Amino acid sequence: MESRAESSLSSQSIPRFEKEANEVTRPSQTTFELEYSDGLPTVAGQDRPRLPRPAQFSIFPSWKPPSIVTKALRYINGPNPRVSIPDPMPWLEREYHLRYFRFSLHLETRLKKLTRPLASLWIFALFAAAYIVSLAFLVRSQAFLTPADSYVTCTSTYWLPDAGCGLDGSQCEPFDNSTFEFRCPSGCSTTILQNPRAVGDQEPVFVPLIIGGGDQNTNGSSGTYRGDSFICASAIHAGIISNSRGGCGTLSLVANFTDFVSSTAHGLTSTAFPSVFPLSFVFTPSSSLNHCEDLRNDALAFNIIVTCILFLLLSPPPIVAFWSLVCIGFWHVTFFSQPRENPPPISDAFGTFLPALFVAYAFWRVAWRKVLPSFSNIPLERAIWYLAPFWAGVEVNVITDKIPVDRLIASDIRERHGALAAVIIIALVLLVLVVNQVRVIRKTGLLPFYILCYVAAALTVLVFSQMPGLEFHLHHYFAAIALIPIAFLPTRLSAIYQAFLLGMFLNGVAAFDFASIFETHAEIVRDGAVGSELPTFATNSTGWNSSLPLVNQTISWNPFPDDDNDWDSFSLMVDDVERLASNALNYSLALLQPGIPHFFRLAFSSDGVSGDYTRAAIVLANGSWIDPPSGASE
């Protein structure tokens, strides 16, 4: 009975215990909502458990980045998820609605259908061969049918500035009885002085150097020009050649000439010089030279047509189109647009061409291969967005010719009319373009990477620019290299940017080679004043006796400073000709022509190299002395 009762008790109690156990161990079916605070989950409606914070070391234990910094970092990182920039939609294939009318041009489809038979490698090869042969004949007519020794550049002169011709001009002889047949390129009326040039007591700047030419000759020749005048600009002023096509002429040297008269002719104004100069020249209209016209405009039209055929009709693969532009643009600048010399030095050009190809390959890898293929299906737009800015970049020297900025140095910006406004406008336009491109790059999430790259590059340039004696000089080819990496997005603006920058790069390296971006101050200012110490005249208007004739007059100057051992002699310019190079402290005026003004400029010299010259002291035609203004003659 007991055992039966025990078993009965067990059978009755076990289910109850199992039920209690199940109630304890079975997972709850109640649903909780989790909230997050400071990165830790909490149950809705309950306080978050306060966990001990791990010990952290910080220089600023209570510092947190300001909210504006946090927002800026979040903005730079870009949206999440990242945005993929789609290929450009064809504008000439869209349907357009005009009130009750709907129309579609389908120009791209029609052009592709018409040019499909021409998209052949063999046709492209034949076209390239025909282009090379045609270019060779054009180059021959441009540069190799005129004697090489007849070519002059836009800045060629018979007399060098300051003491460049030596004492009494002995290194620039002969002074007369000599003729020369010359050929000038086009565009010389816009080749100007970048630094002031002393002409008596005047300092013309930002104009072509033309002195005289206003006198009348009865023998059929032109007016008389001083020997340091630009030959080609003077020939344009005299009407011998044209600015748009260049041309040939003949000049004859004339010895001592007095009173060079200023005049305005053919859009150019010359500078007057009322004293005497040992070398001058006149022009005669006859010349025995042939093939004198500059063909750069014809070559430009020819190359533009070739690239239009390439992009619109032949439609080669993107990489072939890219390398075609590189080659055509480089050799156009080398042979026609801005040759370094005439005839063009082909060996030197090849020395630049090969490194330029390596840089161009970097352009392809960084930017062009990501954009140009996006326009493969819209050849008409591709030609518009690429060819127009590309040729604008190749001819950037012509396009920017009227912009009064050549060197980004303080003296140019301060002294040249309109330079400051031009710099501000260029900077604002560039800022808008860069900001717009950065705005799109941010959407891709690559903005932090590009910021790091450009900051590293800027710091490198800053470090090198602080080396003793060196200054940073931003050449336009280097600006193209710096900006083209951000033009990698498949957009129309990127296409315009990279095409223009490629053309500008080719213009820079083909014309000037890979010029150093770090130069000395003297290299940057070229023939301008370098800031050396200036001597002083002891003669002054107070002690000058104007009643004495020139034959009895002597001018003097003060000796070297006691603490200065850098100089060993003086250089005296009389009427812009070096007449004394010694350690003497005076100069007799006995040999000067009376009745005309005379101009005196003085400089320290060391081992035959002169420093900056003073501004001109003047002895007037009536014998009076005028003290020189302070400062150096540039």
Q: SS3 of 363, please?
A: helix
Range of lowest pLDDT (28-32, 345-349, 497-501): 28-32
Predicted pLDDT at 597: 96
Per-residue model confidence as pLDDT tens digits over 474-515: 888 999 999 999 999 999 999 999 999 999 999 999 999 998
Nearest to 261, CA basis, from 278, 280, 233? 280
pLDDT, tens only, 321-331: 999 999 999 99
* pLDDT classification of 31: cutoffs 50, 70, 90: very low
Tokens of 570: 């003086």
356 confidence band (pLDDT: 50, 70, 90): very high
Residue showing tokens 């301060």: 414
**Cis status of the peptide bond prior to 174, with omega within 30 of 0:** yes
Q: What's the alpha-carbon Rg for the chain, to the nearest Å?
A: 38
Q: What is the mean pLDDT of the chain?
A: 86
The four Cα atoms 565, 568, 573, 579 give a dihedral, to 10 degrees, of 170
> Phi then psi for 3, rounded to 5 degrees?
-65, -40
- Which pLDDT does position 63 carry in this prediction? 55
Side chain identity at 23, as an amino acid letter? E
**pLDDT computed for residue 634 by the predictor:** 66
Residue 27 has pLDDT above 80, yes or no: no
User: pLDDT band at 408, cuts 50/70/90?
Assistant: low
User: DSSP character for 261?
Assistant: P
Taking the C-alpha atoms of residue 270 and residue 154, their distance in angstroms, rounded to an integer, is 16
Answer yes or no: is pLDDT of 62 > 60: no
Query: What 3-state DSSP class applies to 516?
Result: coil
354 class by beta-carbon count within 10 Å (0-12 exposed, 13-18 middle, 19+ buried): exposed
Spatial neighbors of 260 by CB under 8 A, at least 6 apart, are 211, 212, 213, 214, 215, 224, 225, 226, 270, 271, 272, 273, 274, 277, 280
Report whether 381 contacts 89 (CB < 8 A): no
State the pLDDT at residue 57: 42
DSSP 3-state of 515? coil
The 8-class DSSP code of residue 557 comes to B
Instruction: Please tell me the distance from the alpha carbon of residue 279 to that of residue 273, in angstroms, as a whole number.
Output: 13
For the cut 90, the answer to whether the pLDDT of residue 246 exceeds it is: yes
Q: How many C-beta atoms lie closer than 10 Å to residue 264's C-beta?
A: 11
Give dist(CA 574, CA 276) in Å, integer: 10
454 φ, ψ (degrees, to nearest 5): -70, -35
418 secondary structure, DSSP code: T
- Reported as a single tens digit per residue, the pLDDT across 596-619 is 999 999 999 998 889 999 999 999
Q: What is the percent of the chain where pLDDT is above 70?
A: 88
Comparing C-alpha atoms, which of 451, 517, 448 is closest to residue 480?
517
Query: Domains in the chain, ordered, with CATH?
Result: 2-43 (no CATH), 115-140+296-524 (no CATH), 148-284 (2.170.130.20), 550-633 (2.60.40.10)
Q: Is the peptide bond before 379 cis (omega within 30 degrees of 0)?
A: no
d(CA 614, CA 534): 6
What's the pLDDT score for residue 26?
45
Whether the Cβ atoms of residue 270 and residue 213 lie closer than 8 Å to each other? yes
In the predicted structure, residue 14 carries a pLDDT above the cut 60: no
Tens digits of residue pLDDT in 259-293: 999 999 999 999 999 999 999 999 987 888 989 99
pLDDT at residue number 257: 94
CA distances from 373 to 275, 319, 322, 486, 599 (A): 66, 9, 10, 17, 66
How many CB atoms neighbour CB 38 within 10 A?
6
Q: Name which of 255, 305, 250 is nearest 280 in CA terms.
A: 255
Provide the β-strand partners of residue 601: 573
* % of the chain exceeding 90 in pLDDT: 59
Q: For residues 177 and 625, what is the distance between their CA atoms, to the nearest angstrom?
A: 36
Tell me, yes or no, if the pTM score tops 0.85.
no
Q: Residue 508 in contact with residue 359, Cβ under 8 Å?
A: no
Are 605 and 569 a contacting pair, CB within 8 Å? yes
At 39 the pLDDT is 44
3-state secondary structure of 281: strand
Confidence bin at 8 (pLDDT 50/70/90): very low
CB 396 within 8 A of CB 504: yes
